[in-house]
Amino acid sequence: MPTPSFRKTGVISLEELSTLNLLPPESRLKKGPVAVLECPEMIPCNICVPYCPTKAIKMEKLIDLPMVDWNKCTGCSVCVAVCPGLAAFVVDLSKEDGDYVTVPHEFLPAPKVGDEVTLLSRTGEKLGRGTVTRVWERNKTYVVTVKVPKGLGMEVRAIWVEK
């Protein structure tokens, strides 16, 4: 079996996430906020499992990939706050006025609701501008929801807050 490209580049693609069953189906994505755990390596971590308030994340063994029951996931974003690998996101593609993406953010300055921020892809490429709509914090990790242009919800995975 060929080495997956994320092992060489450190950046996972949507195709690879789909192959690993880490992407919600289109039908669920259209219903409202849902977690996307971009966690493709068999590492000894399961912190998201006990923290999920609806028990939507399952792992048989510590090194398994985290499998989300998309119907149990409410998009609460607790997994975004607790994931030490900054690999958990919540996307909401159900709105008409734009897509909404919730990302972990561990840089200062702290984002504030209403801030206009630069949107970044998985590779750090600039994708445009978005507006912060929600911020909460846990143990110095900011959990930031941004409204992004329609169509970018599965591409934006970080933000840059200019000073």
Q: Which residues bind ligand SF4 (CB under 6 A)?
A: 35, 37, 39, 45-48, 52, 54, 56-57, 66, 68, 73-79, 83, 85, 87-88, 90
67 versus 127: smaller Cβ distance to ligand SF4: 67
CA distance 6 to 138: 29
- List helix spans (H) across 10-77: 14-19, 26-29, 48-51
Least distance to ligand SF4, CB of residue 75, Å: 5
Q: Both ends of the chain: CA-CA distance in Å?
A: 46
Q: At closest approach, how far in Å is the CB of 95 from ligand SF4?
A: 17
Instruction: Supply the minimum distance, in Å, between the C-beta of residue 33 and ligand SF4.
Output: 7
- Least separation, in Å, of the C-beta of 109 and ligand SF4? 25
Judged by beta carbon, residue 118 or residue 138, the one nearer ligand SF4 is 138
Q: 88 or 154, CB closer to ligand SF4? A: 88
d(CA 28, CA 21): 14
97-121 burial by CB neighbour count: b if 16+ within 10 A, else e? ebbbbbbbbeeeeebeeebebebbe
Q: Which residues contact 141 (CB under 8 A, 6 or more apart)?
A: 81, 104, 105, 106
**Cα dihedral: 40, 9, 36, 113 (round 10):** 140
Least Å distance, CB 143 to ligand SF4, is 10
Q: Which is nearer to ligand SF4, 51 or 118 (CB)?
A: 51
Residue 39 or 119 with smaller CB distance to ligand SF4: 39
